[in-house]
């Protein structure tokens, strides 16, 4: 089904099942430990062996020798796989470095060997006996140094992304020079780790030349392709199964070493093999959010009208990697006739960089929204009023292109009112509560919405059970629930009457979980399949599909009525369909908006920052399940606090690795760090986006949070920090 024009009403608009706060249907399974995560899957897994990965001990160089004799002789060891005996391996489209090193080493903790043994403990002990000798080469590990010689790169992402490395509208330099009020500031965001709870993990089973991988992965179709490319085998011989995922945040968009090494290990051991990445390998073996160095220049008239805005960002990655697209939102968020964005990409020999929750916007907004706060102060304007002054209802680079919906102003004004923004003192360091200096900060939130083709199959069985099958994943986001709600709404049954099966590459290809596109597109795919199933139902019942109403387990048409299950009495009905998108998404700019308000206390003696209150107001189209959406936003707000106050992968610039590769030293917020959080969704339905009239919230929720915290700290203390995370040493 092609979505080409804004639709009128459709059955979803009844909102009897969709749009309701519904508990996660996978919740009881997860909280009781009954949901099998990849490593725990046991049905049909005969006599599994355990693999343990040996990560490279150097960041760059060559393996000169691997001595596995001692490891092979260790108790319980079944097989050892290295590049020397793994056969010819290819590389996945979404992998920058190879997943098994040899003889070249491309980054620290790149897999160099897998030890397979009878037990996990035996595999781990034997892995310590594998002796690897390296000829270490000099690597490039210092972003600041490498950016000095880094080229400009195009492809800043988003709808306005052109081929030119520097994108311009009007004459930025002249307008900036002439502006009566201006800001020119540099911001730094560090490398971040996804630090998801469940590590990357896989069980590989070979049946002849067919490979099945139970794995933890956000994007089944991409990853099935990349497993096939890596192992040089036909795609149709690979099956991925990923029904439950303990967090991904972008770190599981791609196939990683656990999957490929499990497959190679299982081939060598002639048994099913389980591999989980040990925690240190999450930081150095997998992907991370790259550090950025950003320069923002804003020029404005005295009344606060922006006349010139420029955003430049530099980041680094391995050779053939990509930039962190931190300038993206600056192309779309605020008005201003003279504009420039540019990115530089340095070559670094650190582990590969890639997407982490709101790639581009998350670090980009951390810089831009401090810059807006600084500019408001220079203008003597309230930061909320300054943002509102520069709102735009059209794409500032392409004024003929309108936003399908843009309620940024309402998010800001509603939020300001709910938060008690009028109590904020414009002058910093004025409010004290005992030992605590109190401050308030605000930031806009912005994240694009993306349309993605998404397929699903819906079955109606003779006993009236509706089953949805799609390779879509639930990474803790609530996918099971919203797909059940969608099919329930379309077929006139409660969500509880729908069985949802996810994450299996033998099911129709979906949009997958990424870029906050998962919810809107995967439900639209189920909608499309249900439209087709409704036609089949009407036809079986001899009803007119155009006027058939599906409600309360019944189908009515004119003065005739039947139970839904009657349509399947002669045999199961099956509808397989996908949603595809026409040019509507090119005519309209589809984006999501919000406003974050934060109150902090900074201890006047110790410098410790405590977040005291947080509010997010979001405008993101129809909210499919307010409870699940709120959970997404509070999770994202929490992650935003982490990015503001503590998260930072520490780079060892001598040896080229992330030092704090565990959850003891890579700090993320815990419950005690987070206060009551309030989330408000504006009542919207975006009919230009898709038949669900929904967009995404999972990444919107993090965009701007870091800056709102930083701005609150400035308001509390009068010290402006432009270097994340804002640890107390930077403002004491
Ligand atoms: Mo998201 S960073 O595309 O999982």
* 309-352 per-position pLDDT tens digit: 999 999 999 999 999 999 999 999 999 999 999 999 999 999 99
pLDDT confidence band for 381 (50 / 70 / 90)? very high
Q: Compute the 3-state secondary structure of the chain and give helix, strand, coil in percent, each to the nearest 5.
A: 30, 30, 45
Peptide bond into 658 cis (omega under 30): no
Helix (H, G, I), strand (E, B) or coil at 416: helix
Centre of ligand 1 to C-alpha 249, Å, is 5
CATH of domain 2-29+451-585: 3.30.365.10
Centre of ligand 1 to C-alpha 327, Å, is 17
Q: Which atom of ligand 1 is nearest to the CA of 357?
A: 2
The residues that bridge with 658 in the sheet, in sequence order, are 651
Q: Which atom of ligand 1 is nearest to the CA of 218?
A: 4
What are 390-400's pLDDT values in tens digits?
999 999 999 99
Centre of ligand 1 to C-alpha 513, Å, is 7
**What residues contact 241, with CB distance under 8 A and at least 6 apart?**
41, 212, 213, 214, 215, 503, 504, 505
Centre of ligand 1 to C-alpha 555, Å, is 40
The answer to whether the CB of 512 is under 6 A from ligand 1 is no
Q: Which atom of ligand 1 is nearest to the CA of 513?
A: 4
Closest among 675, 679, 673 to 612, alpha carbons compared? 675
What are 508-549's pLDDT values in tens digits?
999 999 999 999 999 999 999 999 999 999 999 999 988 999
The answer to whether the CB of 706 is under 6 A from ligand 1 is no
Q: How many CB atoms lie within 10 A of CB 209?
A: 8
Helix (H, G, I), strand (E, B) or coil at 586: helix
Best probe residue, ligand 1, of 357, 360, 450, 477 (max atoms within 8 Å of C-beta): 357
Q: What is the architecture, at CATH level 2, of domain 152-191+289-449+590-730?
A: 2-Layer Sandwich (3.30)
Conformational region of residue 412, where left means phi above 0, alpha means psi within -120 to 50, and beta covers everything else: alpha
CATH of domain 47-138+197-247+252-284: 3.30.365.10
Centre of ligand 1 to C-alpha 188, Å, is 21
Centre of ligand 1 to C-alpha 66, Å, is 36
Mean pLDDT score of the chain: 96
pLDDT confidence band for 165 (50 / 70 / 90)? confident
> In the predicted model, is pLDDT for residue 387 greater than 80?
yes
The answer to whether the CB of 515 is under 6 A from ligand 1 is yes
The answer to whether the CB of 518 is under 6 A from ligand 1 is no
Q: Whose CA is nearest to atom 4 of ligand 1?
A: 250
> In the predicted model, is pLDDT for residue 498 greater than 70?
yes
Rounded to the nearest 5°, which phi and psi values hold at 121? Answer: -65, -40
Rounded to the nearest 5°, which phi and psi values hold at 329? Answer: -65, -25
Rounded to the nearest 5°, which phi and psi values hold at 623? Answer: -95, 115
The answer to whether the CB of 514 is under 6 A from ligand 1 is yes
Residues classed as catalytic = 699
Interatomic CA distance for residues 360 and 8, integer angstroms: 34
Interatomic CA distance for residues 691 and 530, integer angstroms: 12
Q: Which residue blocks in 132-256 are alpha helix, DSSP H?
A: 143-147, 172-178, 220-231
Estimate to the nearest angstrom the gap between the alpha carbon of 182 and the chain centroid: 34
* Domain ranges in the chain with CATH number 3.30.365.10: 2-29+451-585, 47-138+197-247+252-284, 152-191+289-449+590-730
Interatomic CA distance for residues 704 and 374, integer angstroms: 15
Q: Which atom of ligand 1 is nearest to the CA of 253?
A: 4
What are 436-464's pLDDT values in tens digits?
999 999 999 999 999 999 999 999 999 99
Rounded to the nearest 5°, which phi and psi values hold at 694? Answer: -115, 160
Rounded to the nearest 5°, which phi and psi values hold at 96? Answer: -85, -50
The answer to whether the CB of 359 is under 6 A from ligand 1 is yes
pLDDT confidence band for 157 (50 / 70 / 90)? low
Per-position b or e across 88-116, b if 16+ CB within 10 A of its CB: ebeebebbbbbbbbbeebbbbbbbbbbbb
Note whether 681 and 628 are within 8 A (CB). no
Closest among 287, 349, 350, 292 to 323, alpha carbons compared? 292
């Amino acid at each position: 089904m092609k979505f080409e024009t804004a639709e009128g009403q459709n059955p979803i608009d009844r909102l009897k099942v969709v749009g309701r706060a519904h508990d996660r249907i996978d919740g009881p399974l997860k909280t009781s430990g009954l949901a099998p995560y990849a490593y725990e899957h046991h049905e049909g897994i005969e006599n599994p062996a355990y693999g343990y990965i040996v990560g490279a001990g150097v960041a760059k160089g060559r393996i000169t020798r691997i001595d596995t004799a001692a490891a092979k002789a260790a108790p319980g060891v079944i097989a050892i796989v290295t590049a020397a005996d793994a056969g010819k391996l290819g590389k996945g489209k979404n992998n920058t470095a190879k997943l098994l090193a040899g003889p070249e080493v491309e980054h620290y903790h790149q897999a160099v060997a897998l030890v397979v043994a009878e037990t996990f403990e035996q595999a781990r002990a034997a892995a310590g006996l594998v002796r690897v000798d390296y000829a270490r080469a000099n690597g490039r590990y210092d972003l600041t140094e490498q950016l000095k010689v880094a080229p400009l790169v195009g492809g800043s992402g988003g709808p306005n992304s052109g081929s030119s490395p520097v994108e311009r509208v009007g004459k930025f330099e002249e307008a900036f020079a002439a502006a009566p009020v201006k800001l020119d500031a540099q911001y730094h965001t560090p490398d971040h780790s996804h630090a998801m709870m469940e590590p990357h993990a896989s069980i590989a089973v070979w049946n002849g030349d067919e490979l099945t991988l139970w794995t933890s992965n956000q994007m089944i179709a991409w990853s099935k392709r990349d497993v096939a490319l890596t192992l040089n085998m036909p795609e149709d011989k690979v099956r991925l199964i990923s029904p439950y995922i303990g967090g991904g945040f972008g770190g599981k968009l791609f196939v990683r070493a656990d999957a490929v090494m499990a497959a190679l290990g299982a081939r060598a051991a002639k048994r099913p093999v389980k591999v989980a990445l040990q925690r240190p390998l999450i930081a150095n073996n997998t992907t991370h959010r790259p550090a950025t160095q950003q320069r923002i220049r804003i020029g404005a008239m005295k009344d606060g009208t922006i006349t010139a805005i420029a955003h430049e960002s530099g980041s680094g990655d391995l050779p053939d990697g990509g930039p962190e697209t931190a300038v993206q939102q600056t192309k779309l968020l605020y008005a201003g006739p003279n504009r420039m964005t540019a990115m530089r990409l340095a070559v670094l020999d650190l582990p590969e960089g890639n997407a982490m929750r709101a790639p581009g916007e998350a670090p980009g907004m951390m810089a831009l929204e401090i810059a807006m706060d600084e500019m408001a102060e220079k203008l003597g304007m309230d930061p909320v009023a300054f943002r509102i002054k520069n709102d735009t209802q059209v794409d500032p680079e392409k004024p003929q292109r309108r936003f399908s919906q843009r309620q940024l102003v309402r998010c800001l004004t509603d939020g300001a009112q709910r938060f008690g923004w009028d109590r904020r003192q414009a002058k910093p360091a004025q409010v004290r509560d005992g030992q605590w200096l109190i401050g308030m900060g605000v930031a806009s939130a912005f994240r694009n919405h993306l349309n993605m083709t998404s397929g699903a199959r819906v079955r109606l069985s003779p006993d009236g059970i509706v089953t949805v099958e799609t390779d879509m994943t639930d990474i803790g986001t609530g996918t099971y629930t919203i797909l059940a709600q969608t099919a329930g709404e379309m077929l006139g049954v409660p969500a509880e009457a729908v069985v949802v099966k996810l994450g299996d590459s033998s099911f129709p290809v979906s949009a997958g979980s990424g870029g906050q596109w998962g919810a809107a597109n995967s439900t639209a795919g189920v909608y499309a399949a249900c439209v087709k199933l409704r036609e089949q139902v009407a036809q079986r019942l001899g009803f007119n599909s155009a006027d058939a109403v599906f409600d309360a387990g019944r189908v009515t048409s004119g003065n005739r009525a039947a139970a839904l299950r009657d349509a399947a009495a002669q045999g199961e009905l099956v509808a397989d369909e996908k949603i595809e998108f026409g040019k509507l998404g090119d005519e309209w700019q589809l984006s999501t908006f919000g406003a974050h308000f934060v109150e902090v206390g900074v201890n006047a003696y110790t410098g410790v920052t405590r977040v005291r209150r947080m509010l997010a107001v979001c405008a993101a189209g129809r909210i499919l399940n307010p409870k699940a959406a709120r959970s997404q936003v509070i999770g994202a707000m929490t992650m935003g606090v982490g990015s503001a106050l503590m998260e930072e992968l520490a780079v060892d610039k001598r040896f080229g690795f992330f030092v704090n590769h565990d959850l003891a030293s890579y700090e993320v917020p815990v419950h005690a760090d987070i206060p009551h959080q309030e989330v408000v969704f504006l009542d919207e339905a975006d009919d230009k986006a898709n038949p669900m009239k929904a967009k995404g919230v999972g990444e919107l929720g993090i965009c701007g949070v870091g800056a709102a915290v930083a701005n609150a700290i400035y308001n509390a203390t009068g010290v402006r920090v432009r270097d994340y995370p804002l640890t107390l040493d930077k403002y004491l």
